[in-house]
Amino acid sequence: MWHGRFREDTAEIVQKFTQSLDMDWRLAKYDIYGSIAHARMLGESGIIAAEESQLLERGLRQVLEEIQKGIFVPKESLEDVHMNIEARLTELIGPVGAKLHTGRSRNDQSATTVRLFLRKEMVDVGDGLLMLMESLIDRATAHRTTIVPGYTHLQQAQPISMGHYWMSHFWAFSRDLRRVLFALESMDECPLGAGALAGSTLPLDRDFTAKLLGFRKPTDNSLDSVSHRDHMLDCQYALAMIMLHVSRLSEDLVIYSSREFGWLDLPDSFCTGSSMMPQKKNPDVLELARGRTGGVFGDLVNLTVTLKALPSTYNRDMQEDKRPLWNSLQVVRDVLEVMPSLVARVDINQEKALESFREGFALATDVAEYLVMKGVPFREAHAKVGRAVRWCLDNYKELQELSLEEWKKLIPEVEEDLMKLLSLEQAVNRRNTYGGTSFKQVSLQIERGVKLLEDYRGQLASYPAKFVL
């Protein structure tokens, strides 16, 4: 494609070093879609004859058919997906094939192709997130009135509704879905027609191609169009955050299902055993999801470091922008395929969960806040309850076991009305502030979550995978 300038052919070792087919052959379909739109525009604008435009489109569709049937095997000597397709097109239709690249550089061509590919991929990621969030809603509904310990510093803190716990992860993944939608919005501009860096002297109709390819508008600046990869970083960051939240959820489920906690039960079909110890039930799926998170974080760093000090506009370093992102997409796709089904089958052993509250003093904060309502300053109430807990520890008693007389000896401000408050269900249901753990508030969260899922579905549907072609 550049032999006119050079006295020597490209060395074979250089061809091998610079090829990108291992990364970009998966883009073939989208490259052809972009080329069809470009060919139509060339014909509509009178840059080439209408018959030539139609011939280019027929040839491109034939190339696509050959690729889909596995007939067309790309050549490494042609470097990338773009040149392989153009070369095969020219073989099929003759010299007119050489007109396809009129008014176009691989810089704007590749930028457009990647956006078309990522649009479909990120919509799929969004759909996977919706499935995981639906599973969390399902579990929250099933466990709305199930009481389990809540933890800080991995120490028992306060009783909570298990439905409240599941919804905490729902809201984290909802933020991830907003990040996916932001990434989709950031790539919703068409670079086609920006050329190598400065646009073209030819009368290209960039609005025409943008509309054909389903973009909201053309990009605004030709230099910026081929310089930046912000949309790829937006995708990469969204994927990293998804994995961060998957990893945290996985960590919780691994811990709560361990013998030491024992009140959460993982489905057998999503666990493995030990080759030596017959009794083992290992949470391998969750551990692998947690383990693969580091690689996605590394991919984010990889891409940011590649881009951090490049001069404007296009530099060959940017060929490597796809490698980390492709890896992250694969990891997240795999994780979102397995996690919804796993979460949907997690169950709770309520008896063990309640038993785990023994000697945990999870109602201490309730007593302190009871004293606040009696006019005791919180810090003073905190100290009084702390001393009562210390007395219970020394005397092998729990707060719920204390009689009214014992309470009055420990804290004179206590009255009989405290006694009816010292139950786990009361503790949960009295936390009825917006976003709190009461059964009522969890129900309201679930209602909001269901409506939010419908809204997200609509937003994802506005980024079609199909094109006006």
Catalytically annotated residues: 153, 274
Q: How far apart are CA 411 and CA 35, in angstroms?
A: 80
Within 10 A of 4 (CB to CB), how many other CB atoms are there?
5
Task: Locate all alpha helices (DSSP H) within 70-161, ordered by sequence.
Answer: 81-93, 106-142
Within 10 A of 95 (CB to CB), how many other CB atoms are there?
8
Q: How far apart are CA 77 and CA 338, in angstroms?
A: 39
Query: Is the Cβ–Cβ distance between 442 and 137 less than 8 Å?
Result: no
Q: How far apart are CA 265 and CA 352, in angstroms?
A: 11
- Alpha-carbon torsion, ordered 291, 297, 301, 307, to 10 deg: 120
DSSP 26: G
Q: How far apart are CA 300 and CA 6, in angstroms?
A: 37
Q: How far apart are CA 350 and CA 356, in angstroms?
A: 10
Best CA proximity match to 180, nearest among 264, 133, 251, 119 = 119
**Residues constituting the chain:** 469
φ/ψ (deg, to 5) at 151: -125, 145
- Axis crossing angle, helix 230-256 with helix 106-142, rounded to the nearest 10: 30
Q: Taking the alpha carbons of 322, 325, 331, 336 in that order, is the dihedral positive or negative?
A: negative
- DSSP codes, 29-45: HHHHHHHHHHHHHHHHT
DSSP 311: P
Query: Is the Cβ–Cβ distance between 47 and 102 less than 8 Å?
Result: yes
